[in-house]
Amino acid sequence: MNTSRGFLHITYKLYHHMDILDGEKKSHCLNVFLSVMKYAWKKNGYKADLRHETIHKDTGLCRTTIKSCLETLNKLNIVKAIRGRSGKTYIVNEVFLKTETVYPDSRNTPISRSQIAVKRPPDSRFTATLEEALYINNISKIIGSFAGDKERIVDKLSELPLDQLESDKANPYYCKLAIERKGESKKSYVSPEKIVAALSNLKNERKKANPFYKSKVEYNKRNNLDWKGRPKNAR
């Protein structure tokens, strides 16, 4: 391993960016991130070609946990993974780092000019922004918290803003149900009595508009007949 590296500053922005994760998941993700940073050097644009086996040796975590953490770091726009022919290349988002000093030779002469790029990784346009990542993880967290209880998942998701549900791509099934649930909650309830009354009024209006009915009513009035055509004074 190259030991000419000075030191690395990791900002608290990174630490608090993971606050949406539970304690154990957060610690695992930080552990995996530090392992990636062990090989992702400034002079290489904070890129590293790594296998899960390497991270496993550094962290002691199982491969399933490592894979889950890398996926989470990718969703949070912290470490972007790019698949290659012989494995994956991981690119660290420099927003969460502070300029470090590296020593290129044995004389430990520091590089005076910072080489940290101010732009995002080349393919960052395909990576969720911080705001989008928070939405995705809030939705995923709700689904994970109530796993197996479909109704509670949909109820909880329906409480989220509509734009969050529409922008999520990781859980389309539950988001669709939650959007439908939000639409149902906005519908006003109409009692059966009001529906019957409205239909009755409509029937009467249509009846009054009928020319034969009007003619019959006028005939009954002229001849002092009731609605059945009988004299009103008849007993």
Q: Are 11 and 117 contained in the same domain?
A: yes
Averaged confidence pLDDT in the chain: 76
Choice between 30 and 115, residue whose per-residue pLDDT is larger: 30
Q: Does residue 182 share a domain with residue 194?
A: no
Residues 102, 132 within the same domain:
no
Say if residue 1's pLDDT is above 80: no
Residues 10 and 111 in one domain: yes
Residues 88 and 73 placed together within one structural domain of the fold? yes
Could you say which of 150, 169, 187 is where a domain stops?
187
Instruction: For helices 130-145 and 63-75, give the axis angle rounded to 10 degrees.
Output: 130
Maximum separation of any 2 CA atoms in the chain, in Å: 128
| pLDDT level of residue 79 (50, 70, 90 thresholds) | very high
Cα–Cα dist 175/165, whole Å: 5
CA distance 155 to 37: 40
Do 18 and 74 have their domain in common? yes
Hey, what are 233's tokens? 């004074």
Number of domains within the chain: 3
Its sign, for the CA torsion 189, 191, 195, 201, is negative
Short-list 63, 57, 70, CA closest to 29: 70
Q: Are residues 59 and 154 in the same domain?
A: no
pTM exceeds 0.75 for this model: no
Do 150 and 113 have their domain in common?
no
Same-domain status, 117 and 15: yes
pLDDT in tens, 137-174: 578 778 877 877 888 889 888 888 888 888 887 788 88
Quick: pLDDT tens for 94-140: 888 865 445 454 445 444 343 333 444 444 444 444 444 444 457 87
Please tell me whether residues 152 and 82 are part of one structural domain.
no
pLDDT at residue 71 in the model: 92
- For range 200-224, the mean pLDDT: 82
The answer on 207 and 176 residing in a single domain is: no
DSSP assignment string, 101-120: -B--STT----SS----SSP
Sign of CA dihedral 101, 103, 107, 113: negative
| Strand 79-83 relative to strand 88-92, pairing | antiparallel
* Single residue among 70, 90, 124 that ends a domain in this structure: 124
Q: What is the model's pLDDT at position 111?
A: 44
Residue-by-residue DSSP string for 148-205: T-HHHHHHHHTTS-HHHHHH--S-HHHHHHHHHHHHHHHSPP--HHHHHHHHHHHHHH
Q: Indicate the residue type of 151.
A: E
* Buried-exposed string 8-20: b where 16+ CB fall within 10 A, e elsewhere: beeeeebeebbeb
Range of the domain at 150: 128-187
Query: Are residues 22 and 119 located together in one domain of the fold?
Result: yes
Domain of 21: which CATH number? 1.10.10.10
Give 122 or 226, the one with higher predicted confidence.
226
